[in-house]
Amino acid sequence: MIDIQTVIDKSNEMSPLWMRMDLDKRLYYLDKYVMKDTKGAVVSDIINVTLNLPATFAAHVQSSLMGAEEQVKVMGEMLAEDVPLKIERLIRAMLDAANALLLARGEPALGPFITEQLDIRGRAAARLTFRKNGSALVAEMGLIDTRHFVFEPDRNGGMAWGASTTWRSPSTVNLEYPDAKASGTQLVAITDVWDAVSNEVYMGGFSGTGTSIKPAQIGGVGPHTYGETPIVFREVPMGSMLKDADALAHRGESIFFLIRDLIPELNRLASILQTLNLESVHGPMEYASEEGPQATPPEYADASGIGRITSVGKGAIRRIDTGDIKAAGRLMQTILSRMIQTGSLSLTDFGSLSFPLSAVALVQLGEASGQVFLPRLGAKGLLMQGIAEMAVRQMIQLGGSLEIGTVGHRQTFNTSVLKGKYDTTFVYTVKAPETDAALIAIADSMRLFMDDDTIATKILKLPNPKEVRAKRRIDEAERISPGIKQYRTAQALLDEGREVEAEIMAAELGITIEQLEAGEVVPPKAVEEPRPNVGNDLALFPGTREFSNTRATQLAGEPREEVGEAT
């Protein structure tokens, strides 16, 4: 087991990255903007405005990513035809069971949590372990916030160890760890440390600022038999991939990295414009008198703030006009708006266009906005792939027959189906009705040049092309065979309780209503065609004497003798 001081030292190394994450969180949470001057002092008497652009941007991105279509593909050599589909269904059942347990515990589902992590933190991690509850296999999915997570990779591409911190109420901590003896009303930091052989839990956390308090051990499961650190981690491939000493703070960037410094400037401009708007209604005034600057303004005059009245004389200091501030404000607003759209989403993505676009234009715009989504969808796919592969390894290790899935939808399987050489991949595609319609139009035009499988996978990007093809064959069978259509219609009438109509159709099929209910079909009797009378009409068959005589008679123009008469 690693020493807890190693965890604390690693957290201090992460300080630059965590400072960036904290800045992104403030944008995400719409922390109130406060204008400051060039020396960092708060500017007084300003109407500070906080625009909702970063939260709106994040909401649109997360909604699109959470609505992305998921494709689970299992491909390998020497696999029976039905094995990939069985493994895919098993992986989905495992994920459904894990999500059901998370929701029952009041936590978010895995998909939305990972999406938010990749968007705001720029990386995501999850812990997966299995335990048996009677005949059922329970998938324990631990959601890890990577702002409070440190790890060390091993030489084989896995994870040597990983440690995450969460905050819980003292009562919750004492319920799970009786030796903790937590007290008070403040949330308690709990650090969960895993490596390839054991798991230990500590009360206390790390901050990454050099002021961490060494946690006190309170429990843990001790040694485990997973044979690896059961944590999967993936980073968004956006930002810096340089090897400089200060590159860590720029790795795995969030969705705000292109507009992080522009948002405060937009808030500053909005604050200035709003302050000017108010001053145009209640602006500053001068009070001229023989006493000059020493004069006391009337009692109704406010001597400070917006609408203030200032006494002046011959030596009064006046503002020098430095240009049209309103024109400068409009220009700056145009620049900021353009740059923010370039670094985030366009008006099309926000649904602000009032005119229709062609199919090609819609696809092009969808691909342009995909530049924001694709790196995160790719990272999500790799993370889910790692979770699925880890789940397979653990289930094979358990061995035998296992039962997994949500209540009412559990399926029993033998772990032998999981053995073999194959790859599991997760592919995500952002879908929108407008883009779907455009892709369908393009797919129709490409059927002259591409096969159905390529169109379904590459152009339409269907989440489950194998199942779609199977369903299409079922529909085509009904179009090809009138009998199949008749039989299915009769079954549907029977299911709806319309027995008289079903019996009529069954009679037309040549079966009884009882056979229809039992799913039995009597094959139609073969119609026996009449055989030719060979003995009386041998003249029809070349090679026989009768045929030769008949042919000779026809050539001579003489009447043919009846077959069978003596000559």
**Class of residue 41 by CB neighbours under 10 A (exposed 0-12, middle 13-18, buried 19+):** exposed
Handedness of CA 371, 372, 373, 376 (dihedral sign): positive
pLDDT value at 481 more than 60: yes
The length of the chain in residues reads 567
Q: Range with the lowest mean pLDDT among 99-108, 118-127, 535-544?
A: 535-544
pLDDT confidence of residue 34: 94
pLDDT value at 383 more than 50: yes
**CA 453 – CA 466 distance, rounded (Å):** 9
Residue 456's nearest CA partner among 477, 440, 445, 475 is: 440
pLDDT confidence of residue 507: 85
Handedness of CA 99, 104, 109, 110 (dihedral sign): negative
Handedness of CA 58, 110, 72, 160 (dihedral sign): positive
Q: Range with the lowest mean pLDDT among 106-110, 118-122, 295-299, 395-399?
A: 295-299
Q: Range with the lowest mean pLDDT among 101-110, 258-267, 504-513?
A: 504-513
Q: Which of the four pLDDT bands, split at 50, 70 and 90, describes residue 348? A: very low
pLDDT confidence of residue 358: 45
- Pick 418 or 372 by higher pLDDT: 418
pLDDT value at 362 more than 50: no
Residue 42's CB is within 10 A of a number of other CB atoms, namely: 10
pLDDT value at 116 more than 90: yes
pLDDT confidence of residue 557: 60
Residue 295's nearest CA partner among 316, 278, 270 is: 316
pLDDT confidence of residue 524: 52
**CA 215 – CA 166 distance, rounded (Å):** 13
**CA 83 – CA 202 distance, rounded (Å):** 43
pLDDT confidence of residue 532: 54
- Pick 148 or 451 by higher pLDDT: 148
**CA 562 – CA 567 distance, rounded (Å):** 10
pLDDT confidence of residue 364: 45
**CA 139 – CA 145 distance, rounded (Å):** 19
What does the angle CA 442 – CA 446 – CA 450 come to, to the nearest 5 degrees? 140
pLDDT value at 106 more than 60: yes
Q: Are strands 285-288 and 309-312 parallel, antiparallel or unpaired?
A: parallel
Which of the residue ranges 222-231, 352-361, 459-468 has the most confident prediction, judged by mean pLDDT?
A: 222-231
pLDDT confidence of residue 29: 96
pLDDT confidence of residue 31: 95
Give the phi and the psi of residue 372 in degrees, each rounded to 5: -75, -35
**CA 376 – CA 116 distance, rounded (Å):** 10
**CA 157 – CA 493 distance, rounded (Å):** 58
Q: Range with the lowest mean pLDDT among 56-65, 448-457, 526-535?
A: 526-535
The answer to whether residues 185 and 171 touch, using CB atoms and an 8 Å cutoff, is no
Q: Which of the four pLDDT bands, split at 50, 70 and 90, describes residue 308? A: low
* pLDDT tens-digit map of 16-61: 999 999 999 999 999 999 999 989 999 988 889 999 989 988 988 8
Q: Which of the four pLDDT bands, split at 50, 70 and 90, describes residue 234? A: very high
pLDDT value at 391 more than 50: yes
- Pick 314 or 522 by higher pLDDT: 522
pLDDT value at 66 more than 50: yes
- Pick 112 or 560 by higher pLDDT: 112
Q: Range with the lowest mean pLDDT among 119-133, 344-358, 432-446, 455-469?
A: 344-358
Count of H-run helices and E-run strands, the chain = 16, 14
Q: Which of the four pLDDT bands, split at 50, 70 and 90, describes residue 567? A: very low
Query: What's the whole-number average pLDDT of the chain?
Result: 79
Q: Range with the lowest mean pLDDT among 201-205, 326-330, 352-356, 497-501?
A: 352-356
Q: 36: which strand partners?
A: 42
- pLDDT cut 90: percent of the chain above it: 26
Tell me, yes or no, if the pTM score tops 0.75: no
Which of the residue ranges 237-251, 322-336, 369-383, 547-561 has the most confident prediction, judged by mean pLDDT?
A: 237-251
pLDDT confidence of residue 127: 96
Give the phi and the psi of residue 230 in degrees, each rounded to 5: -80, 50
pLDDT value at 554 more than 90: no
**CA 457 – CA 302 distance, rounded (Å):** 71
Q: 143: which strand partners?
A: 126
Average pLDDT score over residue span 210-216 = 69
pLDDT confidence of residue 113: 96
pLDDT confidence of residue 313: 56
pLDDT value at 212 more than 60: yes
pLDDT confidence of residue 349: 52
